[in-house]
Structure 1
Amino acid sequence: MLIAQLSDPHLRPKGVLYHGIVDSNAMFAAAIEHLNGLSPQPDLVLVSGDIVDEGAPAEYEFARELLSAIRQPLLVIPGNHDEREAFRRSFADFDTTSRSGPLHFAAGDFGPVRILGVDVTVPGLHHGDFDDDAAAWLEQQLAAAPGRPTIVMMHQPPFACGIPYVDEYWCRNGERLAALIARFPNVERIACGHVHRFMQLRFGGTLLCTAPSTTTAIALRFQADAEPASYLEPPAFLLHHWKEDAGLVTHLVPIGRFPGPFDFA
């Protein structure tokens, strides 16, 4: 089973640039074009939050237009730049979209790997929170299928990555999540977005990774007094490959056209 994970496109209304500088819309369209050129094609596509930048209806309208080019089943969760109710209205036709409250979902009909989307966003704020309700929901879902390989998808990652202006907005109560995940060895991966960079670490007895943004990359600055900054680094997405004999292997896929192929490896 192949599962593509795109993240943080920060889409704007048609013709509007992200921060007045970057054409995030065109970059997301290029990501989808690259995705559609993969062979074999993914079985499922995830988008791990910040689908739009300001939560405006015009942004979601254009987001649906762009997302319509994705050929596979699509699963989405909101990020801190999404507006929960506008997001809910925009994706109301998705079977996984709840009618009220956080936008958690459980999806197990697309192949051997089950996807649990946990909405840890806090409306109006940029940090996440794995609160009591999220913990109760996730525990119930994990207990319902303890032998099924599972990806838990959320937007804000629950760890301090060392970039000071990113760590202000992590997901709180990460220790509660780690303790819960540790009880379920069938969780193959925790897949996050938010930080606009690829990162990977052990967490709760499994692996946690973050997807890069399809638009700008947040600067990799570890100094305590570092100023927030971003770069137009090569964008990318993740491809999670499930094989019965190997488990889940995660690949970083740069977006674009590159010299090659050459006849050596």
Structure 2
Amino acid sequence: MTTTLLLQLSDTHIREPGRQAYGRINTAPYLAEAVASINRLPQAPDAAVITGDLTDFGRPAEYEHLRELLAPLRMPVYLLPGNHDSREQMRASFPQHTYLGTEGFIQFSVAVGGLQLIALDTVVSGASEGRLCPQRLQWLETELARHTARPVVIAMHHPPFRTLIGHMDDIGLLEGADELEAIVSRHPQVERVICGHLHRSIQVRFGGTIAATVPSPAHQVRLDLAPDAASAWMLEPPGFGLHALPAGGRLVSHTAASGSYAGPFPFHDGGQLID
């Protein structure tokens, strides 16, 4: 039985070599460690998608550094913009990624093994919050109508749900979430809505399926559910997502920690539980 594996990275926030994000964290070694962890997986992913905030300021040197860090990945990599990115510079820095298009929103639909990956652009230029306008939503509706017989994963940067982390919800998807949920509910082939932006693993029921975020390979947003919680990040364990679709089955999503750890060790020795 063939299983399709879609790797998800998000919120890499790469700066120019030697520069630190927020003046405190060099995100590049964390991404390099995540890439090494991905390449050590027992089963190689069919493709990877990065759900936004690829860089910190959308500068040419940042995207050049990102390209170098991603080069060891042994699979196709698909890029989405986040609120820290520049659509124009993404296209200029990754000209071989023709799915990015030449102008306007970065939205695309590609086959990855047995599933269809559909990417939505939630970015509002110059703003931290996200929006889905009627034009973007109509494109999604049309694309879903073209793929009724294939399992679909929708990828986007801003999650279309409240996370209860107040300062992040203030810059979440402020327009189009209800309309998106209505579209998803009409299309049962949508197996998952995968998002970034939150630097945490969060899941919620959405439109008859599951919408979820994944950790950053570097820093995480602090888990504080107070409505007036301060905007803050933590050096909690970094990670990434792995979405597995067995032939004829349902999508199973895993969250993995990046890094090197002891093991694996057997639970049994010669069929006997080790004492």
Q: TM-score, normalised by structure 2?
A: 0.94
Structure 2 equivalent of residue 229 of structure 1: 232
Specify the alignment match of 1:128 in structure 2. Answer: 130
Match of 2:61 in 1: 58
Q: 2:117 & 2:103 partners in 1: Cα distance?
A: 20
Q: Tell me what 2:198 maps to.
A: 195
The unaligned stretches of length 5 or more in structure 2 are: 269-275
Q: 2: distance between equivalents of 1:153 and 1:259?
A: 33
Q: Which range moved further: 239-248 or 178-187?
A: 239-248
Cα deviation digits, residues 127-170 of structure 1 (max 9, x gap): 11111111110001000111110100000001111011000111
Partner of 2:47: 44
Match of 1:206 in 2: 209
Instruction: Give matches, 1:1-265, under 5 Å.
Output: 1-108=4-111, 110-171=112-173, 172-264=175-267
Determine the C-alpha separation between the residues in 2 that align with 1:88 and 1:133: 21
Give yes or no for contact 2:129–2:170 (8 Å, CA) kept in 1.
Answer: yes
Deviation, structure 1 residue 247: 1.0
- Structure 2 counterpart of 1:211, which letter? V
Larger Cα-atom Rg: 2
Cα distance in 2 for partners of 1:56, 1:28 equals 18
Shift of 1:245: 4.2
CA contact (8 A) 2:114 2:247 kept: no
5+ residue gaps, structure 1: none
SS of match in other structure, 1:17: coil
The answer to whether the 8 A contact 2:52-2:196 is kept is: yes
Query: For residues 103 and 63 of structure 2, what CA distance do their matches in structure 1 show?
Result: 19
Q: 1:159-209, CA deviations, whole angstroms, 9 ceiling, x for partnerless residues? A: 111011000111122000000011100000000000000001110111111
Report how many residues are paired. Answer: 264
Q: Is contact 2:9-2:241 (8 Å) kept?
A: yes
Aligned equivalents of 2:201, 2:53: Cα separation in 1: 16
CA contact (8 A) 2:12 2:217 kept: yes
CA RMSD of aligned residues (A): 1.1
Identity of aligned residues (%): 38
